[in-house]
Amino acid sequence: MADGENNASNNSASSSSPPGSPGSDLNRTLSHDESDPNSTSPPTTETETGIEALARRVQESLSMSKRHKFWETQPVGQFKDLGDSSLPEGPIEEPTPLSEVKQDPYNLPAQYEWSTCDMEDGPTCNEVYALLAQNYVEDDENMFRFNYSTNFLRWALRPPAYFKSWHIGVRVKASKKLVAFITGVPARIRVRNEVVKMAEINFLCVHKKLRSKRLAPVMIKEVTRRVHLENIWQAAYTAGVVLPTPVTTCRYWHRSLNPKKLIDVGFSRLGPRMTMSRTIRLYKLPGSTVTPGFRKMELRDVPAVTRLLRGYLGQFAVAPDFDEADVEHWLLPREDVVDSYLVESPETHEITDFCSFYSLPSSILNNANYSVLKAAYSYYNVSTKTPLLQLMNDALIVAKQKGFDVFNALDVMHNEGFLKELKFGPGDGQLHYYLYNYRLRNPLKPSELGLVLL
């Protein structure tokens, strides 16, 4: 796994990236599979930055036979169109009549069959868990692998008005063994001034032994077909690789909470001229939160949190359009899944600030002393009265109290305002956000994005 060369402040330990942060070749939506087998990107230089320069260099570095054959057939922004101001923003292709949407599933290789995975069914959920736990995203050096819990999967895949038919498995006909998986969940995402019904595509995973079978492209087409059957024509997804064409490119930052363990398992290393004891002191946090009125979110807070969040997210070019049902599902605390805290004014009892993070542990591979890396991921945070630095420091304190080893955050929204000050270190790679069948004329800065995909 590549080392994080840029250390956090004060000669801190530098972080390698865990699975799902940019150190892994692929992220969330695209696991190590065959959907874009020949896509490679050259290193970024200091003089060449930005999505357009990166995309052009990627395209120039690939021969005609090695370009993104699958994605060039899809209604997504294409590299050749970058900088073309004549192209309109909005849908790339218009919806087709539902009667013209393909009614039958796409053909799989003869020995495989489609399977709709009911995440409310315990045995099926356990099958999905096992497939992901053994075959989903790993870091480049095979030291860590995502370990989504069954409770997390049920939360992630069953939001309000979800479609069971969008939880798609591939099984071996003879044995019924689950060997591949892809999902979509419905979302309303505001793009500038338009609220668009979309699918959020996630958990594309193909069994390690089947990565030469070209299953991923047909799985992407099949989930697209099922989304179209619900009269939804746009989607959002992320990947750690450059595909045609990112709407923005973000970076994960990592804040050590348990630096000794992180160094012991190879996630971090001691910084130059640093000892273990100095590193532990550097990352030490107060024993309790400091903000008056800081408390765990409760069901009664849903209306106030919804108002706070909608007001905050309105300033970003792309952001979810949450209503109270969404906030209750996505942000009401669930043990070992999502944690949310708010600030209630002791005087007025007004809810003024909000912070949240979700729990995504990773399996630690081939380590005699540790088997799980507990990682918290920053979710949605709103600061109106409490300074963002203070609010997020309290979030770090409660994450530490709950036994997390590391706190991760993307540089989206206003997160850049606290990362360096709170001793986060930058990860190794990048996370690219994509919209399917929706064109933005110009790429966004990470700070213009108000969307966090699981």
Q: What percent of the chain has pLDDT over 90?
A: 73
Per-residue pLDDT band at 51 (split at 50, 70, 90): low
251 pLDDT more than 70: yes
Give the architecture (CATH level 2) of 51-249. 3-Layer(aba) Sandwich (3.40)
CB 255 within 8 A of CB 406: yes
Measure the CA–CA gap between 306 and 322, rounded to whole angstroms: 7
Residues whose CB is less than 8 angstroms from the CB of residue 398 and which lie 6 or more positions away in sequence, other chains included? 289, 339, 341
User: According to the model, what pLDDT value does residue 52 have?
Assistant: 56
Per-residue pLDDT reduced to its tens digit, 347-359 = 999 999 999 999 9
In CATH, what is the architecture of 252-448? 3-Layer(aba) Sandwich (3.40)
Name the helix (H) or strand (E) containing 407. Answer: strand 406-410
Q: Which of 52-66, 126-140, 264-278 has the lowest mean pLDDT?
A: 52-66
| pTM of the predicted structure, to 2 decimals | 0.86
Contact (CB, 8 A) for 233 and 192 = no
pLDDT for position 57: 53
Q: Return the half-sphere exposure (C-beta side, CA atoms, 13 A cut-off) of residue 331.
A: 32
Q: Could you give the residue range(s) of every CATH 3.40.630.170 domain in the chain?
A: 51-249, 252-448
Residues noted as catalytic = 454
Report whether pLDDT(257) > 90: yes
Confidence band, pLDDT 50/70/90 cuts, at residue 72: confident
pLDDT in tens, 379-399: 999 999 999 999 999 999 999
The Cα 75–Cα 71 span in angstroms is 8
